[in-house]
Each structure stands twice: as structure tokens, then as C-alpha cells.
Amino acid sequence: MAPLDTLQLALLNPWQRGFPLVRDPFHQIAQQAGMAVDAVLAGYAQLQASGALSRIGGVFAGHAGGAALLAAMAVPPERLCAVAAQVSAHPGVNHNYEREHRHNLWFVMTGHDDPAVRRAMAALEQQTGLPALQLRMERAYRIDLGFDLRSRIAPAPMAAAAARTAAPVAAVDRPLAALLEGGVPLEHHPFDAWAQALGRTPHEVLQTLQHWLDTGTLRRLGAIVRHHELGFDANAMTVFDVPDAEVDACGEALARAAGVTLAYRRARAAGWPYNLYCMVHGRDRAAVLAVIERVTARSGLAHVPREVLFSRQRFKQTGPRRFRALPGTTGEAHALSL
């Protein structure tokens, strides 16, 4: 595998969480990296331009606000690229992948609330002429893609998932959440710019962000990387059909397993019996399959039906839009010209 270069190692790996909540955060990063602050800012801009860095921002907990839905379509192969383009064109879609399965197009629809997401899904179904599995999250056991990037397989995540119910974002703070979805500006005093836009003080902005981390509203705040660009391009979603009485115990076991980056329970759908999901990110297919076999056996799942869906093509990957207003809609963030 190709090792991370010096810039990636210094600016991405240690800062996937714990981004400094101070008025001059890039100065603190520069001190730790032994670099000039302007070099740090230029480095992040370079990583963003290369695609390795999506943004510096926050990963909100599922119940923090807004709504999201995992969806899948069974697209005839000859229509795949055209339908994928239709799906990707929707501003609420933030992830859109081809996977190895009859249901070959998988995407995430986000929005301000559940009715908005449902309306968007209905519109896409009508536009494409294809029905979609709509797989609502029921419980997250581990949602954390902030892992050490130096390995062949994503090892145990850098921090354990907090077993708590997230406090939702208050209505008055939704504009700040929208800004965080968009990403921290690459400038010397990024939170000052947010404070000015919101009519608040920098101290109030930083205090709110810290409160969200303390209460679990934010799962993490830091560098959101694109793993494919960093060599993790053999990624598989494994789905299990687990008896309802057993699913939580199995999901919790998956969440503790080294190599698992995501584990969660979703609602079943007609023609889709699976209710437990896990993701394994790795640099080669054989290593990913070995992890899946190991964690399946150790999590009490060897006896249940399962399928492994490797990613093929990535059509779209952007930050979610749970708080940011979509084009043509109204919302708290609209006045900030996001």
C-alpha cells in the first residue's frame, strides 16, 4: 500500500477529531506539526483540492436535527449511469454509490425534516420510474469514520462511540449547525467570521460547539477525509437478517470489533429482510473479507443470512444538508448565503 505522505500524516490523521476550539485553531495545529500557520492553511487547501479532505467540520448525531434516509434502487445496468446522475443531481443526496448487488445504486437523502426527505424520495422515484428501498435508521451502535489511516484495514476506531441519546440542536443554533456542515473556513480566525455572520461573539460560538461535543450532539469535530483518495477503496457493507430479539446484542458486539467502522440497525423493507448493517473499510478486498468473516463469527452472526455488498463506483460524496437550506427552499441558513 502507498504510505501517507508527510502532509497527509501531519494534517489529517491526528485531527480527525479534537479540532482545537480556540479562536486561532490553525496556529495550534501548526505548533504541533512544526509548521508555519500559513503553510498549514495552504496544506489543508491543497488536500481539499486533491479530494483527500472533504472539509473540516462536524459529524452530527442522528437525532441532533434534520433527517436522513438510506435508499437503494435496482437499476438496469444499461441505465445505471443515467439514473445515478439523476440521483446525484438532487441537492439533498450526499452519498451515491454503486454496490455489487441487484440493488446496485445506494444513496443517502438528507433534509430539514422527515416529510422533506419523503417528498424528495417520492420525486426521485417518479423522475427515474424506479422504486427505492427506504431504510430508516433505528439504532446506531457505531458511527465513526475517524480511524487511523496508516493501516491496511481500518483498525479499532480512535475513540469509543458514546452510548447516549444526543441532545437536538436548538432552533436558535441551527444557522451555526448549517455553517459547520459547510466546513470551517481556512483562515486564521475562522470562528470570528461565523460570529460576525450570526451576530454573536466568538466566545459564544466556541462555547456552543463545545457544548454540542459534551452532550453528544456532535460525534466529532475535525478533518472529514475521503477514504477512497487515501487508498481505502475496498469497502464493503455487510447486511444481516437477525431475529429482533438478538439484533441489539449482535450490533453491540459488532461495534466492539476491530476493523468495523460502522454498525447500525435499520428498518426492514418489502423484499429486503436485513436489519443489521456493518461497514469495513480497507485497502484490498481480501483483507476486508477476512475482517468480515472474523467479526461475523465473533459477534454471534455466523448462523444468520447475510450478504456482502462491495462498493464499485462512487458517483457523489459531499457533506450532508440536514441544516443547510436546499436551493429553492427557505430555512435559517438561507440568510447566510450558504
- 111-125 pLDDT, tens digit per residue, is 888 999 999 999 999
Helix residue ranges per DSSP H, the chain? 6-11, 25-33, 37-50, 80-89, 114-128, 174-182, 190-198, 202-215, 247-255, 285-298
Q: Strand pairing of 53-60 and 260-266? A: unpaired
| pTM, to two decimals | 0.77
Per-residue confidence (pLDDT) for residue 228, from 0 to 100: 67
Name residues whose C-beta falls within 8 Å of residue 257's C-beta, 6 or more positions apart in sequence.
294, 295, 298, 299
Nearest to 103 by CA among 79, 84, 75, 128: 75
Per-residue confidence (pLDDT) for residue 231, from 0 to 100: 61
Greater confidence (215 vs 107) lies with 107
Q: What are the pLDDT digits (tens) for 312-327? A: 999 998 877 778 765 4
Strand partners, 307: 239
Nearest to 141 by CA among 301, 310, 11, 21: 301
Exposed, middle or buried: residue 115 (CB in 10 Å: 0-12, 13-18, 19+)? exposed
Q: Torsion angle of alpha carbons 30, 192, 59, 320, nearest 10°?
A: -120
Highest mean predicted confidence (pLDDT) among 11-20, 233-242, 268-277: 268-277
Residue 148 pLDDT class (50, 70, 90 cuts): low
Contact, 58 vs 323, CB < 8 A? no
Greater confidence (88 vs 144) lies with 88
pLDDT at position 217 over 50: yes
Q: How far is CA 56 from CA 47, 187, 312, 326, in A?
A: 11, 12, 26, 21
Q: DSSP string spanning 28-57?
A: HHHHHHTS-HHHHHHHHHHHHHHTSEEEEE
Name residues whose C-beta falls within 8 Å of residue 43's C-beta, 6 or more positions apart in sequence.
7, 10, 11, 35
Report the percentage of the chain scoring pLDDT > 90.
61
Residue 165 pLDDT class (50, 70, 90 cuts): low
DSSP character for 256? T
Exposed, middle or buried: residue 337 (CB in 10 Å: 0-12, 13-18, 19+)? exposed
